[in-house]
């Protein structure tokens, strides 16, 4: 800094200009201005400025931190609980008539394969993607409501059971090239399915006094390419069930059952139901399913199951496997699924089973909800 600039610098400094203002005038950084001021003070050419401002406090006690942060925490909590309130206090819009018979309904929900893209094996048309899935979910709710209105004059439907039979997500890592057949990764699939299932339960709470959701895991939820050997509670779909369970934890009308095994036994009005995804059945042909059904029939005579429910095969079948036991193979969400075509040599249909349960009957009014209806 030459003498003329130095004199001007001292004059501006004494007039009250800050180091930042001096830096802007001289065209250099604030730190350089601070060093220049310090140098001139050390030479006695300028005097330290007198200030009455208190030094900014940088250390706080625990109570001071809590006090300052509390408003932000309250704001976050208000937003969080306001958002989750839509799953907590849901008004029942239907009424009961005393003279009607009390029954329950069961929906088999499986093989939704969130995140999957499917092209029909012959035409190549896209029959399943994110947009089609949303339309089918709307059709599913419309179908449930349609049959509810049909049965309403005759029955009081008390509890609506959702048997989640697995493969609600499609994953992104279980076979080579899978990422070319999906719209999003497994994390986004879980997030979307979490919202879809929560939305279904929320809408059904307007019709039914009580909802029970059972969350079974499928083979597409596994965390490694290996088809066997992983515990059920390590499956991605177990995480999905945990999220749903947490969301409805404060809703007394919703029960979320989260089995830690790949099969689960449930009793409804004295009838026994076995829930499993079905991938333990060897082979993919109708003959192999029928053979497996006969093998299962040897067990059910001992276990006394009334209905056995599985998914996995992407097509709807009803097998009477013993005088007292019925095997229901649920459909999928994918119309003309390439998997079903190449493995079973038939076109799949996007359908899900719905049926009624009464004290006398473990399964009646069996319906196939066609998800392609608009």
Query: Who's near 69: CB < 8 A, 6+ residues apart?
Result: none
The distance between the two most distant Cα atoms of the chain, rounded to a whole number of Å, is 111
Distance between CA atoms of 233 and 100, rounded to whole angstroms? 41
CA–CA distances in Å: residue 54 to residues 51, 64, 270, 321 = 8, 18, 77, 86
Q: pLDDT tens across 329-360, in order? A: 999 999 998 877 776 667 788 999 999 999 99
Looking only at the bridges linking them, the beta strands covering 263-268 and 126-128 are unpaired
pLDDT digits (tens, 9 = 90+) for 24-74: 666 666 677 777 778 778 777 887 776 554 554 545 555 655 565 666 556
User: Which whole-number Å values give the CA distances from 276 to 25, 66, 175, in the listed order?
Assistant: 77, 49, 22
Any idea of the CA torsion for 361, 363, 364, 369, to the nearest 10 degrees?
Answer: 160
Give the single-character DSSP code of 356: E
87-145 pLDDT per residue, tens: 988 999 988 888 899 999 999 999 999 999 999 888 889 999 999 999 999 999 999 99
The 10s digit of each residue's pLDDT in 285-316 is: 666 776 676 666 565 556 788 999 999 888 89
Rg (the chain; Cα; Å): 33
Phi (first) and psi of residue 330, to 5 degrees? -80, 160
Residue 26 tokens read as 């001289």
Residues 207 and 147 sit within 8 Å (Cβ to Cβ):
no
For residues 167 and 340, the answer to whether their CB atoms sit within 8 Å is no
């Amino acid at each position: 800094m030459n003498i003329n600039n130095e004199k001007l610098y001292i004059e501006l400094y004494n007039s009250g200009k800050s180091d930042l203002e001096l830096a802007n005038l001289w065209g250099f950084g604030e730190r350089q201005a601070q060093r220049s001021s310090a140098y001139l003070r050390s030479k006695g050419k300028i005097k330290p400025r007198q200030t009455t401002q208190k030094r900014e406090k940088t250390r706080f006690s625990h109570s001071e931190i809590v006090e300052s942060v509390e408003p932000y925490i309250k704001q976050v909590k208000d937003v969080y609980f306001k958002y989750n309130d839509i799953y907590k206090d849901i008004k029942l819009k239907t009424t009961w008539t005393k003279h009607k018979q009390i029954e329950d309904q069961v929906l088999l929900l499986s093989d939704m394969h969130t995140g999957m893209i499917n092209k029909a094996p012959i035409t190549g048309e896209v029959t399943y993607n994110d947009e089609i899935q949303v339309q089918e979910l709307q059709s599913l709710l419309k179908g449930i409501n349609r049959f509810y209105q049909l049965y309403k004059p005759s029955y009081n439907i008390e509890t609506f059971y959702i048997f989640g039979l697995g493969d609600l997500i499609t994953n992104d890592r279980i076979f080579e090239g899978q990422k070319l057949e999906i719209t999003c990764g497994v994390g986004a699939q879980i997030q979307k399915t979490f919202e879809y299932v929560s939305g279904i339960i929320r809408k059904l709470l307007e019709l039914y006094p009580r909802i029970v959701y059972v969350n079974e895991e499928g083979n597409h939820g596994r965390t490694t390419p290996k088809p066997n050997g992983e515990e059920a509670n390590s499956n991605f779909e177990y995480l999905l069930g945990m999220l749903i369970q947490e969301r409805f934890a404060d809703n007394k009308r919703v029960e979320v059952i989260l089995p830690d095994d790949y099969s689960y036994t449930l009793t409804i009005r004295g009838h026994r139901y076995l829930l499993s995804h079905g991938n333990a059945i060897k082979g993919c042909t109708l003959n192999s399913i029928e053979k497996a059904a006969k093998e299962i029939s040897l067990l059910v005579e001992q276990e006394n199951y009334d209905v056995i429910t599985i998914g996995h095969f992407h097509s709807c079948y009803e097998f009477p496997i013993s005088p007292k036991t019925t095997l229901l193979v649920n459909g999928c969400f994918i119309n003309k699924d390439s998997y079903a075509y190449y493995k079973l040599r038939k076109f799949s249909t996007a359908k899900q089973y719905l049926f009624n349960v009464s004290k006398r009957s473990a399964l009646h009014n069996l319906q196939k909800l066609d998800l392609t209806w608009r």
